[in-house]
Amino acid sequence: MNSTDQTPIPLVVTNACPETIWPGIGTQNGIGPGTGGFVLEARSSRKMFVSPNWQGRVWGRTNCSFNEEGTGPSNLNGVNGNGAACTTGDCFGRLDCQFTGQVPTTLAEFNLIGGVGGKQTFYDISLVDGYNLPLGIIYIPTKNTTFVPPNLTNCACIASSGYLGEPSRSGLAYTNDSFPIPYEAAQTNERVGSWCPWDLQKFPPSKPGDGIFPYPDDHIQRPIFDPCLSACSSTNNPRDCCTGEFNDPTICQPSLYSAQAKRVCPDAYSYAFDDQTSTFIIPTGGGWEVVFCPQGRSTNILEILGAELRALASGGKVTQEMLAAVTNKTYIELERPGRSGTGRLQPAQFLGFSLMTVGIMLVLA
């Protein structure tokens, strides 16, 4: 698709969670889907369309309660005493979001017409504003992009207990037998629930009767739903947010939050200057599905198949060499020095600081 093509782009939002969520959608450029937010029952989807030059974000809101008009919370003080209608991702109490959601939120971010001449699409999963729900981004090929291997595009961040598949270096969720997706392999459902630095939990466990947590506190039971603020969203400190004198990638360094987030979600943005290990770039064209509570595990595509993805973005086609790599399960699962997901999480709890078959049409050189 060229930059003058005005064919609407599909945007599908799927709730694979066991409970109702309230997706929010923010539009920074182009024509959005005509709504800024809606209710989405468990195990259901909503298909919409955006313009080919759309730039925007999608996030999930949780435990919402709106008035009949959707213009405010169902009670005067809201769920938090300050007029919020949702416990996370709230939009000033409104169902139809006019702005972005209240932190912490897991974000799916899109720039559908980026790069030189608008020939590339940029997208990412961002934890820069924190984390509230597992999220995946699934590419929907169009006629001229069916050659794009799904294991280069379909990323996920699953950092909540109870949603992870069994530990594995690769898997077939949202792909097929020919194109295994690289996975983060170390986390378990028991372990992943403690990744958030203790002081950044949005809703930390209630203190014991004496008001003092035992030390060390790494064995304290955390809530099943445990949203995590990012270092930046918690402190608004220039050092954490990479602003002011820290607005320089050589100066602003990842925090404990960023390091922990990257261990559980290698493909996700964890702080402002994390773009080299977090941005997906593919040829323009096709649509998108944002899945909340996706199947499988957190993906590790950019580390394992980053060279192949960059070659696809720059060349706009799949070569014989690329095809050999992305269909080779042994290559994908190969142990690499420093491979994400091979080490254990740091004891974040007590550190007090904190960021479809081979038959698809392949264009071969």
Is the sign of the CA dihedral 272, 275, 278, 283 positive or negative?
Answer: positive
pLDDT band at 360 (very low <50, low <70, confident <90, very high): very low
pLDDT band at 352 (very low <50, low <70, confident <90, very high): very low
Distance, CA of 78 to CA of 58 (rounded, Å): 23
Distance, CA of 175 to CA of 295 (rounded, Å): 11
* Residue 55 near residue 28, CB atoms below 8 Å: yes
Angle at 266 between CA 126 and CA 250, to 5 degrees: 75
* Position 216 pLDDT exceeds 80: no
* Position 354 pLDDT exceeds 60: no
pLDDT band at 169 (very low <50, low <70, confident <90, very high): very high
Tens of pLDDT, residues 40-97: 999 999 999 999 999 999 999 999 999 999 999 998 777 776 789 999 999 999 999 9
Lowest mean pLDDT of 1-5, 29-33, 102-106, name the range.
1-5
What residues contact residue 211 under an 8 Å CB cut-off, 6+ apart?
Answer: none
Where do the DSSP E strands lie in 197-317? 268-269, 280-283, 287-292
- How high is the mean pLDDT of the chain? 88
pLDDT at 144: 84
User: Can you count the helices (H) and strands (E) in the chain?
Assistant: 8, 13
